[in-house]
Structure 1
């Protein structure tokens, strides 16, 4: 584009100039574009302000020439000796072709120069004919260049959409071979683009319906789109590279040739895993909460009804056991409701902390004594280093975290549980680990165990009371302290839950003597 404008200005005997695209030639975004040739960008506003008042050429008079005043020439940054000695002309040339106006070429030249289109002073018609021919050729070349620029920009925009889309995009040819595979699709399936190009897309994705039946060619969403059917948000199950299967919603578009024949199929693949998990969480929440609420209520009602019978006579020991059971179930019910309210506050960002200096050693030993009194059969050991640094934390909240993790270690360890509470110190934080030798957690479950209402799918876990809120609350508390919480576990070999808290005083750096 710049080369074309520069050559045109040189043929017109100009020294510098600017080509301004017409608003009528392209869309409004392109109308503000211009191409410079040996003209300072800062001078463009002065030049355009000057020419737009009086130098607007037309098809009848395509070339206008005018000597510009010295003060305007100086504003354009032209040399003083040139302005005073020879004078400067400003010329405007209207460019148009059969498609309509294209733009205006403004250029500056010495007043003593004339182009080959202005030399026939005795034959004005020859001048005009040559100028019209030149204008038409230049307009055609510039229009082609502008269209090429527009196509390059459009290609860049489409490439950016393809590259940075969060949805998987897969393109196939009319033989259903993969020709494009965007980064989101790579992340979704684990395949790299260079590995799947030219492959049959069904072989790569291995699609199935929700019932697990293979979707072959006769059920191909792409072929259905090629046949003119609408394929929008069709649910199917596809396979990742490692064999993991997940549900997606696929929308297929068909790109056709001028004769209406299918050329390409574009598949937009949306991963439904998160939506299905949320739906499953809602169903789990309803079922778990219903069960967890109904069980203590039923027990309380049953014992209360029994004790309220007028014809029943109970000895003191029986009466006491029934009342203790009612109290325990009421406590269980109160804890469940409290956890639900707690989770709601966390979701609403209403979790408040009273951060003070906390003696973690003293708190851990107090929790261990409480656990031994409540569960005499549990063996608990402490591995706390002497002079454990103080941490900055809310005592009540950290007590809840420890209580929750210790209760879980007891609940999910069949037989006689053996638990170890260990502490480790770094320069920035104190790490507390609760170690058990219980049922353990699979790798897949470890990724979701801190989610709301998530419960491990092992039979022992499912039979153990709980709503799946304890670890979610622990995570929220620890992260509100600026710490982190994680799990390391091997299935049926035990688990280690660890969390960190910031030290009150950071460890001093060692002194280095040179």
Structure 2
């Protein structure tokens, strides 16, 4: 019961730590939750104490929540199969390292009689241990205070003890250390993950994930240490109950259902989203019936083997209010004593607000694009009149600058038209004028149109393009994509830097790359930058106005022509944007 109460406070504690809400507000929200069963975050939003954006920033929930939870569930099952301490400790540390995407995991177990920590770690694939004073280091502080410690630079903290680093010849940077507690709330040690992969930082969501992981680890350690052997069915049912506690106050709805067992996990958030009775405990059969009524009967069919796979989808719920719910699936193995239990973990995300916001954004883009087309057309006509020397002859310098203005206006015209394409229909459905195109000519003219910008920014713009066969493409759209990538490179390349445009051919396509030596893009952001309205948050982006559409437009244009686009960057080492176009055959 104590563990349950602690889990009820877990999400609220994250908000308290970030000073998003106060103690009085969290208590009021918990009281409301007893009657309506809503997710804690939604109650706080309804009460006006916070916003969905603030909650998202605190949790930093990844788009693959269902995969993380499935890994956590499978790991909790795997712990049950370990019958001795050595295999259990190795399994715990290996899985924590994988789930938290870190370089290493260490276990610190309290030895009260010796007043020491038994520090367990993996070295050369073997489980080893050393003894450390119980009062030393981060683990000592965590075990004593029962607090969670998260460091971005371990060696800057007076709590960090480098002794383990010295023994392993290792350098710790980022750290997340969590107390490991028994159900009686007694601290029996600490679990510590170090150095987030991709030079990232441990988030508040990682805190929740490791705390949940520690609940299962503590239970497994206690059972092995006491020599308790329970039959597989009892252990599986107990595990399902513990997982219910772990996901009880997640903002996302969670359901876990297996083929052979009656136990199910159904957290309050999913009951609220789908309009089910909040306080009522439901069994497997009733869960399947309710899913059928909600339009998700294919889950039962998949469990029976009548459906081959489960794919994500969106459903609309009408009662008690209209909601749009995104449903994601992830298979779980649930294997105990070599008996495979087919099952799936389903995550429900309320995207009603996001849908409304997307609609507002689309309406804004449509209106803004229509309003822009008129003055752009006027400028285009005026420049054409000047280029045709209708008002008198032009000097060579005037002609040069008029051509630059004309190229810029042409680009704005194409961009505005593309914005309308995006809001009216997916670009893949918009007819493209795909024909035999001289790519070298497009690259040369595009780079020449940017020479003034390069001079203004004191950046070297280098054309490393060779001679290549023609490609099958839309010349205007391809030029638009290249201009977008160059514009992006100019934003992030410092004065004195360089931007290099290169190409290379394969049997079926041509690769075009735009490489800069600017700020670079961290690994965790590289899969997001091609999303609409997403912008990398740093000092450089704040200097340049934008709404985060440029790279999204590039992706749509390139993929609509049968090409691919990606970025290569190691963070602070510049970025290389590469796209392909098919050869004309």
The interval holding the TM-score normalised by the smaller chain is 0.3 to 0.5
- Higher relative contact order structure (alpha carbons within 8 Å, sequence separation ≥ 6): 2
Give TM-score, length-normalised by structure 2: 0.37
User: Is the radius of gyration larger for structure 1 or structure 2?
Assistant: 1
